[in-house]
A and B are shown apart, each in its own frame.
Chain A
Amino acid sequence: MNITISQNGTEEFVALEGRLDTLTAPDLEKELNPLDGVGSLCIDCKDLEYISSAGLRVLLSLQKTMNKQGTMTLLNVRQEVMEVFELTGFTDILSFA
């Protein structure tokens, strides 16, 4: 899993590449926390191939944090990852663009 983070003022942009699973989800959590002062979090999922429940947990946690201080948007989600979001009901709580 490759995680690329770039920041522009209060906007944070994260590109994910590979598999977000039990092994890699803790890395994403560590890389992104704390989200102090971030008003807008964009996660590019163009190269995200797979997401497991551990990955969903990290996204949920990020979403909860961002609910308090701004917005979180997922970009370019692939079909197979989108199916997981639909299956787990995450489409109801995440924002996509």
Chain B
Amino acid sequence: MIGKLRYSIVFRILSGIVVLLVLLSVFIGTIGYQGFTSALLDQYADGAFRTAESAAELVNADHIPRFIESGGKSSEYQAAYFSMDRLCNSQGVTFIYVIQPDLTDYGHITFIFSTINHDSHYSLYDFGFVRATTNDDYRVKYRRLYEEGSERELVIRDQGYIQTDPHITAMVPLKGADGRTKAILCVQRQMDVLDAARRQYIRNLFLSLGAVVLMTILVYGAYIYRSLLFPIQTITGEAERFADESIPSGNKLTDMILNRDEIGTLAGSVDRMEEQICSYMENLTRITAEKERIAAELDVARKIQAGMLPQLFPPFPDKTCIDLYATMHPAREVGGDFYDFFLVDDDHLALVIADVSGKGIPGALFMMISDILIRSEVKPGITPATALTRVNERIYKNNRAEMFVTVWLGILELSTGKLQASNAGHEYPVIKRAGGSYELFKEVHGLVLGALDDMVYKDYELKLEKGDSIFVYTDGVTEATDADNRLFGTGRLLDSLNRDKDVTVKGVLDEVLAGIRDFVKNAPQFDDITMMCLYYKGTDENENG
């Protein structure tokens, strides 16, 4: 991990700096090299020209035709040659020579004088030797000296392909008394000294650059390690440890890292973050435990509530004149809806469906009370309306939470099919006559139970014939809502009920539930869905009682 960090941070910072230093050095070095070369070259050329001017004084240009006539044997020529040779050897130049180019295209030169430094490894051109002009550079300069009145020209040969070592040639015209150029005196000086100086310069440049880079890496690297790498490594190590172990460490990062920069801030933040995460996790653990406890309690509550509702079907196997089925699907663990049925006496079956104004635990508690009160008030000889009136009084008296419950209560005389019922603010029952369709039965409604004192409820009566059915439900059915907030409604309820007319009572409830599920699709269930269906088979068949 340390190696990885070293690569990712210090290595990157240092290599960046090294690259920058090298680029800067190359830039400065190039400028320096050019300045250095140009200054040295000037100095070099000056020396060569001074020698050339001294040598030019040795030769009388007007006497050159005589030198040619004598074939370089005249005493004046010999004297000038001797002086020039001495000059050549005393001034440290390679050649001093005098030439006459042909004046048509300066393509050839004829040597008049040619002296050489005795230390050089070159050989002399003899008097009168003719050779081709070396290149166009020379040719242009010869022409200037002859035709344009130039007083000095310089040719530098230190680049490209050359037969000799790098050198410069300083040229001055030898003019006659008429002021016209008669010949050219050239001084060739080797550039070996200049070259050596340049090499020395470059070597020094790179040596010092290397030293600077090395120093930078050592000094700056150590600094970076102490002020950057070590703290970051410490923070990273602590963060990784915390990610793995999730327990606070004994020592704070801010005690180990004394930086007052962003890294110090980071260390402080990591310290604080660890503290907060730890306390958050403690809270979460506590809350989770609490939630689990509540969930466990709710589960028990759900079982208690489910145990309240009769769930064994058929409930009264010996009562063959009826088929009865009921279901409740709570929206949460426990619900506020309930259904109930029980025999009041041997010939009377009480049917209850109810909806409490609340869900969850409060709804479930209120539902339990309501169911118990209804069971205790429904007695032989008591009509449903009287029972509801009494239940209302008892609920109202202790109704601190101002909750209420809608109840449909019916008492069916099994032997005759006479159904006496009363409705305290509950949904209309749905009735199907034998061979017909399910239709809403719009009876008189009283107020919900528990809302107001001194309410009086009314009974109504209808007669179930053989083959008739009655279906009661809670608003969780009609108010089942789809994703667009549309309600299932009584229309769709009747459609579902009438879809298959020959189905059993359980089948009827399944049809409705399927219809609801099909309608709401993925929308969540908000309300408890409770339904009960009774099919009256009549008393033609043999039955006890």
Residue A22 at the chain B interface, CB threshold 8 Å: yes
Residue A89 at the chain B interface, CB threshold 8 Å: yes
A87 close to B447 (CB less than 8 A): no
* A89 in contact with B448 given A57-B402, A61-B402 (CB within 8 Å): yes
**Main SS of chain B's interface residues?**
loop
Q: Once bound together, how far apart are the Cα atoms of A89 and B388, in whole Å?
A: 14
Q: Which residues of B contact A21 (CB under 8 A)?
A: 526
Q: Once bound together, how far apart are the Cα atoms of A60 and B450, in whole Å?
A: 10
Whose C-beta in chain B lies nearest to the C-beta of A22? B359
A60 close to B425 (CB less than 8 A): no
Please tell me which one of the listed residues B357, B445, B479, B485 contacts residue A86 in the complex, with CB atoms under 8 A apart. Answer: B445
Q: Once bound together, how far apart are the Cα atoms of A60 and B404, in whole Å?
A: 10
B residues contacting the other copy or chain, number (CB 8 A): 26
Please tell me which one of the listed residues B358, B427, B527 contacts residue A87 in the complex, with CB atoms under 8 A apart. Answer: B427
Residue B428 at the chain A interface, CB threshold 8 Å: yes
Q: Which residues of B contact A87 (CB under 8 A)?
A: 425-428, 445
Q: Once bound together, how far apart are the Cα atoms of A21 and B485, in whole Å?
A: 12
Within 8 A of A (CB), among B384-417: 402-404, 406
Please tell me which one of the listed residues B427, B445, B447, B526 contacts residue A93 in the complex, with CB atoms under 8 A apart. Answer: B447
Residue A56 at the chain B interface, CB threshold 8 Å: yes
Residue B451 at the chain A interface, CB threshold 8 Å: yes
Which bracket fits the contact residues of A? Answer: 10 to 19
A48-81 interface bits toward B, Cβ cutoff 8 Å, 1 = contact, 0 = none: 0010111011001100100000000000000000
A60 close to B358 (CB less than 8 A): no
Q: Which residues of A contact B402 (CB under 8 A)?
A: 57, 60-61, 64
Q: Which residues of A contact B479 (CB under 8 A)?
A: 50, 52
Q: Which residues of B contact A86 (CB under 8 A)?
A: 445
> Would you list 10 pairs from A and B whose C-beta atoms are within 8 A, ordered by A residue?
A54-B357, A57-B402, A64-B402, A86-B445, A87-B425, A87-B428, A87-B445, A88-B445, A89-B424, A89-B425
7 closest Cβ pairs, A-B complex: A89-B447, A88-B425, A53-B357, A89-B425, A57-B357, A89-B445, A89-B446
